[in-house]
Amino acid sequence: MSGTRGADGSGKRALRRALLAAREALEPGEVEAAAGELAARALTLPELAGARSVAAYVSVGAEPGTLALLDALRARGVRVLLPVLLADNDLDWGAYTGPGSLTRVRHGGRMELCEPSGEKLGPEAVTAADAVLLPGVAVDGRGMRLGRGGGSYDRVLARLERAGARPALLVLLYDAEVVERVPAEPHDRPVDAVVTPSGIRRFPMSRE
């Protein structure tokens, strides 16, 4: 449910197609094992250790799994916010209070998403988060993230910038999705760190 704006270049589209095809080829056991490894590594991040509120998302299909991490954060007493996709591709937010607080929603012809079923807190709720977990398909050595092409998280990042909010920006990926170069546009913003099953990589230039 992430992405870049409609003016998505052909380089981004080609890279996205190749990486998503590789994801779809993963066996369910591989996806499940990676989710446990991702959660264990992400929980060592100081940005999450000290967070009171984290904006995240529920992984779907072969995306790097997030549910184990969401439950571990809740167990620590962290307030976890999850997105609700709006008709214009913007995101509202709701609190995650456990698997029973999720509902499956199909938006038109897109994939089915798991969204919080409780009170909607408004698009601005994300500006109070200490860390934001961004969905992605790839990240490069500069910390530039490739999303799924829908533009929802470009709006989130723009909203954070307008509010003067500087939460830690984090992305969970498979090891092969850390690539040499992601085609970037002027509005693209780097993440602070990527977590993969084999380790954590930081991008200090993202804070300059």
Q: Which residues are annotated as a binding site for substrate?
A: 58, 63
Strand order, beta sheet including 168-172:
91-95, 79-85, 53-55, 131-134, 168-172, 193-196, 199-202
Lookup: tokens for 19:
């990486």
Give which of 132, 122, 116, 106 is closest to 193, Cα–Cα: 132
How far is it, in rounded angstroms, from Cα 57 to Cα 65? 10
Q: Can you give the length of the chain in residues?
A: 208
The annotated binding site for ATP is made up of 12-16, 145-153
Provide the H-helix boundaries in 43-190: 46-49, 67-75, 152-163
Bridge partners (DSSP) listed for residue 134: 171
Give which of 34, 144, 148, 146 is closest to 85, Cα–Cα: 148
Give the three-state DSSP class for 11.
helix
Give the three-state DSSP class for 99.
helix
